Chains A and B, each alone.
Chain A
């Protein structure tokens, strides 16, 4: 036994080491764990559940982020949550690495990542079949067709929560593609999406049969007819966040209230939707 004493921790299998790693709460302990040896570094990567790059408002930092992101993604095969902010030069190739986490990835968030193209988004949506939550604030994806490219979200068939607040250029076509591609969607924020007009609202009313909560705050192009289309469909709707929609008349709103008395109307505009991150992990 004495001969082996030198390397006795090697007797612990990777699943034991993962368990031990998960009991380390502080960031510094986790980092120290990864710097111990090659095997422990590997274990730390396997145990990594989330990658979050915060906003830093410093272009140099963003460049560094983009550089190390693909490596990080390639090494971490079991990510639940990826949140990227401000990576303006993020190439699609980095997004393709997300497919390594494919089955485990549940939550994805982009904030001002203008380098992403519709193709990249498509790869992620197809490659991660259990994606339940997407938060996307992108003015316009780089799409050769000149469209907004967000229609590709429609490939994420398990999607439950979609936050497209402030996607001003979102088109009706994309809304329709998402509504028909994501039948399980439960909560959808389209606040400040000025590009959505009657065809988009009609598609949501017709196709989103599981939708419980919808946000249309400050949408310039939702009119009484659009609201009626929502009320005629969306059989499961419980809450409608509606405020500051210039084209909706008092009569239109009253008609909706009469037709759907059980739908609660709220005026507050929320930035974050869906279950809290903690709940998302618990769902698993």
Chain B
């Protein structure tokens, strides 16, 4: 692609608009490189701002907080949302179905769901972050504290006195 050479600076502007023509390399913390379209990478506000600042597009972006397995899954989401158009009702429905299947699969593997959530937060992928946090919130809904602890494997570290105090506050505020 024409990027990189100095003369292409003006052309790059025009190219921004039809982003997707450029390819961007994302590197996981295990050193594995993933090549994605710019449109896909722009789903991440973190990468988007680095690209727009004219950052190291050619060198690629090392992501020290994301492992390969998580990154692959995150890219799957970004590809779907970045590379495809969603203008018609049908296209939007297809995207909604993708999201539904995507989250259902993640929900089955909670530890992986949290990794993806953390990565979405770190990369500022708003849609994905909303999707995963909503899924976790839905798991919490309607459960007692005991059930929540079981569902999430949380260790109970409150004293009886703490619990009493919190309950009392809750009744007032």
A residues engaging B (CB < 8 A)? 1, 4-13, 15-16, 19-21, 23-24, 26, 29, 31-38, 40-41, 51-53, 61, 64-65, 68, 71-72
Contact B115 A11 (CB under 8 A): yes
Contact B134 A23 (CB under 8 A): yes
The residue among A13, A24, A32 with the most chain B CB atoms within 10 A of its own CB is A32
- Contact count band on B: 35 or more
Contact A16 B145 (CB under 8 A): no
Q: What residues of B have a CB within 8 angstroms of the CB of A65 in the complex?
A: 172
**B133-159: contact bitstring with A at CB < 8 Å (1 yes, 0 no)?**
110110011111100110011111110
Q: Complex formed: what's the CA distance from A33 to B168 in Å?
A: 15
B residues engaging A (CB < 8 A)? 110-111, 114-115, 117-118, 121, 129, 133-134, 136-137, 140-145, 148-149, 152-158, 162-163, 165-170, 172-173
Residue of B with least CB distance to A34: B166
- List 7 other contacts, CB 8 Å, given A9-B154, A68-B172: A7-B153, A8-B152, A16-B118, A20-B136, A23-B137, A35-B166, A64-B168
Q: Complex formed: what's the CA distance from A37 to B151 in Å?
A: 13
Contact B145 A32 (CB under 8 A): yes
Contact A24 B154 (CB under 8 A): no
Listed from nearest, the 7 A-B pairs whose CB atoms lie closest are A23-B137, A35-B145, A9-B152, A8-B111, A31-B170, A11-B114, A19-B133
Q: What residues of B have a CB within 8 angstroms of the CB of A10 in the complex?
A: 154
B interface: dominant SS:
helix
Report 16 cross-chain contacts, Cβ distance below 8 Å, ordered by A residue: A7-B155, A9-B110, A9-B114, A10-B154, A11-B118, A12-B118, A19-B129, A29-B143, A32-B145, A32-B148, A34-B170, A36-B149, A36-B152, A38-B157, A38-B158, A68-B172
Q: Complex formed: what's the CA distance from A39 to B101 in Å?
A: 31
Q: What residues of A have a CB within 8 angstroms of the CB of B157 in the complex?
A: 37-38
**Given the interface contacts A12-B117, A68-B172, A72-B169, does A32 sit within 8 Å of B144 by beta carbon?**
yes
Q: Complex formed: what's the CA distance from A29 to B144 in Å?
A: 8
Q: What residues of B have a CB within 8 angstroms of the CB of A8 in the complex?
A: 110-111, 114, 152-153
**Given the interface contacts A5-B153, A13-B118, A23-B133, does A72 sit within 8 Å of B141 by beta carbon?**
no
**Given the interface contacts A11-B118, A35-B163, does A6 sit within 8 Å of B148 by beta carbon?**
no
Residue of A with least CB distance to B142: A29
Q: Complex formed: what's the CA distance from A9 to B157 in Å?
A: 14
Contact B137 A20 (CB under 8 A): yes
Q: What residues of B have a CB within 8 angstroms of the CB of A71 in the complex?
A: 165, 169
Q: What residues of A have a CB within 8 angstroms of the CB of B144 in the complex?
A: 32
Q: What residues of B have a CB within 8 angstroms of the CB of A37 in the complex?
A: 149, 154-158
Contact A29 B140 (CB under 8 A): yes
Give chain A nearest CB distance to B113 CB in angstroms. 9
The residue among A20, A61, A71 with the most chain B CB atoms within 10 A of its own CB is A20
Q: What residues of A have a CB within 8 angstroms of the CB of B115 in the complex?
A: 11
**Given the interface contacts A8-B152, A37-B156, A51-B173, does A29 sit within 8 Å of B117 by beta carbon?**
no
Q: Complex formed: what's the CA distance from A64 to B172 in Å?
A: 8
Give chain B nearest CB distance to A123 CB in angstroms. 22
Q: What residues of B have a CB within 8 angstroms of the CB of A61 in the complex?
A: 172
| Residue among A9, A16, A38 making CB contact with B153, cutoff 8 Å | A9
| Residue among A7, A13, A23 making CB contact with B154, cutoff 8 Å | A7
Give chain B nearest CB distance to A233 CB in angstroms. 42
Contact A16 B140 (CB under 8 A): no
Residue of B with least CB distance to A30: B170
Give chain B nearest CB distance to A94 CB in angstroms. 13
Residue of B with least CB distance to A40: B154
Q: What residues of A have a CB within 8 angstroms of the CB of B118 in the complex?
A: 11-13, 16
Q: What residues of A have a CB within 8 angstroms of the CB of B129 in the complex?
A: 19
| Residue among A13, A33, A38 making CB contact with B148, cutoff 8 Å | A33
Contact A16 B133 (CB under 8 A): yes
Q: What residues of A have a CB within 8 angstroms of the CB of B143 in the complex?
A: 29, 32
Contact A41 B166 (CB under 8 A): yes
Q: Complex formed: what's the CA distance from A9 to B115 in Å?
A: 10
Q: Complex formed: what's the CA distance from A26 to B141 in Å?
A: 8
